[in-house]
């Protein structure tokens, strides 16, 4: 007797680790650059150069790239961009990891501050989080049929499972050109640029992924022909495209994380030779997991009719998709302007910083901060530009009915809307909508039929009568009665002219053993 099985591909986290470290340094301003008067903008990016797993550990190497834009009062005042590279090498201790494992590493720049020590020296401080994990792909074999000369009676139960169809890391190259509107002056020098993903929808189609959304571009530049005349420009660029993804189909469940990796922002001349075009060359890094919900009719029990059948069971975890949830919350505050008054807002940006994630009785409790940055023109001739950076706390429960502490989920957060409104030059009113989304998986242990074999034992079987009138008791089913007398369920229904499996206590059934 052979059990026919349906293989279900699944993934599980074998090991995970997380560390925080504080790369930083005191740096001298290069001799070719003027003195520093005011720090205007700063941001950072963690770039990995190597991930080396070993025995019970993984070593991560890379650089923290810091960009700084400062204002100098020399030569009548000017904006000066500056870049700094801080190398790092960190080791994470991870149980059950070997040198041959594929380790997935994510980084997050939690905090960055740039302070002026003196006009020729700056102090950089940061907080970086590194998270590493190793996943195992494995098969769960669900019994769905039996072959062989013995024709046993078996019972099916529908089981909901979530099969992993695609697991890979990939990239999507995005090249776009933006032309300045006619009301904006030509670009003499690009001082600062930022790109960020707005809402990006990635859907599985037949053997491919379809991407649609937008990229937000902010550019701060010195206008041509007018020294120290600073212009700010921002726009949203639509993004559409497809990429190959073998095995996926429309209707499957995607769990895809997308971040901007390498990027290049360059100024190019237009058809008239004027510097009015901004070229974006971006690499979108995607962590792709595609799942397919299935309902499998699994054999949970069987018994022999002609011969005794011995069975064995093993317990295995089976994962299913529990829920896909999205929620939104509003955040607002009025931030004081320290270097003011604020005459004109040039730039503002919001970023969600997560501090904690816990499971509560009503859902996933999320706490953290909305980090707000703003660059503006002041009314102070001595300090004509000001920079504001503040943290606005938030606390939000992503409602999930029936959630359990053992459910597995990874919550993604983004700023959907951000409004920054100067209030009388002394305050900046901030209104934002934060969006949180997650896919929850639930793991359930199942007793799975692992082996079945015909036995020559006949004890008990030969003592049963060949024909009997059986009176149904409370809790009886056709399955339990058929198993007791070694008779096929369909044979009982046929002899007693039953159209359904429903039984009533006290009902009489004719049982005939062949």
CA-nearest of 112, 37, 111 to 79 is: 37
The span from the CA of 308 to the CA of 459, in Å, is: 9
pLDDT at residue 33, as a whole number: 94
Q: Would you state the pLDDT for residue 401? A: 92
Give dist(CA 256, CA 168) in Å, integer: 10
How far apart are alpha carbons 387 and 384 in whole angstroms? 11
CB neighbour class for 496 (10 Å; exposed up to 12, middle 13-18, buried from 19): middle
Q: Given strand 275-303, what is the order of strands in its sheet?
A: 153-179, 275-303, 253-269
Predicted local confidence at residue 227, as pLDDT: 62
Q: Phi then psi for 92, rounded to 5 degrees?
A: -110, 135
Question: Two tokens at 129?
Answer: 């989080």
In the sheet that holds 342-360, the strands lie side by side as 342-360, 363-378, 385-399
Mean pLDDT by 10 residues, the chain (514 residues): 90 91 95 92 93 95 96 85 95 93 91 94 96 90 87 89 92 94 93 90 95 94 78 92 94 92 93 95 94 92 86 90 94 90 91 91 95 89 85 96 90 93 92 95 90 76 84 94 92 94 94 85
Taking alpha carbons only, the member of 381, 453, 353, 376 closest to residue 422 is 376
The predicted pLDDT at position 296 comes to 93
Would you state the torsion angle of the CA atoms of residues 95, 96, 97, 103, taken in this order, to the nearest 10 degrees? -80
- Looking at 361-384, which runs of residues are DSSP E strands? 363-378
Task: Please identify which residue in the block is written with the tokens 């809790």.
Answer: 475
pLDDT value of residue 459? 58
Residue 425's pLDDT is what? Answer: 86
Q: How far is CA 40 from CA 37, 153, 285, 343, 485, in A?
A: 10, 77, 29, 16, 86
Helix (H) or strand (E) holding 393: strand 385-399
What's the pTM?
0.85
d(C-alpha 68, C-alpha 84), whole Å? 8
What is the DSSP code string of 224-266?
TTSTT-EEEEEEEEEEEEEEE-TT--TT-EEEEEEEEEEEEEE
List Cα–Cα distances, 128 to 107, 133, 364, 507, in angstroms: 7, 17, 24, 72
Q: What share of the chain is helix, strand, coil (3-state, %, to 5)?
A: 5, 70, 25
Q: What is the pLDDT of residue 455?
A: 80
User: What span, in angstroms and rounded, lies between the C-alpha atoms of 355 and 353?
Assistant: 7
Give CA–CA dist 339/384, Å, rounded.
Answer: 9
pLDDT tens string 106-159: 999 988 999 999 999 999 999 999 999 998 888 899 999 988 877 888 898 999
Tell me which DSSP letter residue 35 carries.
P
- Do residues 124 and 4 make contact, with C-beta atoms less than 8 angstroms apart? no
User: How far apart are the C-alpha atoms of 236 and 48, rounded to whole Å?
Assistant: 28
Would you state the pLDDT for residue 228?
63
């Amino acid at each position: 007797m052979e059990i026919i099985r349906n293989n279900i591909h699944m993934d599980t986290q074998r090991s995970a680790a997380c560390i925080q470290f504080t790369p930083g340094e005191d740096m001298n301003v290069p001799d070719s650059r003027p003195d520093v008067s005011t720090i205007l903008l700063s941001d950072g990016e963690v770039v990995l150069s190597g991930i080396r797993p070993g025995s019970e550990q993984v070593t991560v190497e890379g650089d923290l790239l810091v960009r700084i834009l400062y204002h100098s009062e020399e030569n009548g005042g000017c904006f000066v961009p500056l870049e700094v590279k801080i190398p790092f090498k960190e080791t994470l201790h991870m149980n059950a990891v070997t040198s041959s494992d594929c380790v997935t590493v994510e980084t997050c720049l939690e905090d960055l501050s740039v302070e002026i020590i003196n006009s020729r020296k700056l102090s950089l401080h940061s907080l970086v989080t590194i998270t590493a994990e190793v996943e195992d792909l494995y098969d769960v074999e669900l019994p769905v049929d039996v072959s062989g000369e013995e024709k046993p009676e078996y019972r099916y139960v529908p089981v909901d499972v979530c099969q992993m169809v695609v697991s890979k890391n990939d990239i999507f190259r995005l090249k776009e050109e933006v032309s300045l509107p006619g009301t904006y002056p030509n670009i003499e020098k690009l001082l600062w640029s930022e790109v960020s993903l707005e809402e990006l929808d990635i859907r599985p189609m037949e053997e491919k992924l379809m991407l649609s959304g937008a990229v937000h571009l902010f550019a701060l530049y010195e206008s041509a022909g007018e020294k120290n005349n600073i212009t700010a420009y921002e726009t949203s660029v639509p993004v559409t495209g497809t990429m190959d993804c073998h095995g996926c189909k429309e209707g499957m469940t995607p769990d895809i994380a997308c971040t901007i990796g390498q990027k290049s922002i360059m100024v190019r001349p237009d058809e008239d030779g004027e510097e009015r075009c901004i070229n974006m060359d971006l690499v979108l890094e995607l962590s792709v997991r595609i799942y397919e919900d299935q309902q499998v009719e699994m054999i949970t029990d069987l018994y022999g009719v002609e011969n005794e059948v011995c069975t064995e069971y093993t317990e295995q975890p089976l994962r299913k998709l529990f829920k896909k949830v999205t929620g939104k919350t509003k955040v607002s505050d009025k931030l004081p302007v320290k270097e003011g008054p604020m005459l004109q807002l040039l730039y503002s940006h919001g970023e969600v910083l997560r501090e904690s994630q816990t499971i509560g009785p009503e859902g996933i409790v999320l706490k953290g901060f909305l980090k707000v940055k703003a660059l503006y023109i002041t009314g102070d001739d001595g300090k004509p530009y000001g920079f504001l950076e503040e943290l606005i706390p938030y606390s939000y429960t992503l409602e999930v009915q029936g959630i359990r502490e053992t459910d597995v989920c990874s919550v993604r957060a983004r700023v959907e809307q951000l409004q920054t409104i100067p209030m009388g030059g002394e305050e900046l009113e901030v209104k934002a909508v934060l969006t949180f989304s997650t896919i929850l998986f639930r793991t359930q242990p199942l007793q799975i039929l692992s082996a079945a074999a015909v036995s020559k034992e006949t004890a008990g079987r030969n003592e049963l009568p060949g024909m009997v009138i059986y009176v149904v008791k409370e809790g009886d089913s056709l399955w339990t009665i058929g198993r007791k007398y070694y008779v096929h369920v369909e044979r009982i229904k046929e002899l007693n002219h039953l159209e359904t499996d429903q039984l009533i206590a006290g009902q009489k059934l004719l049982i005939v053993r062949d």
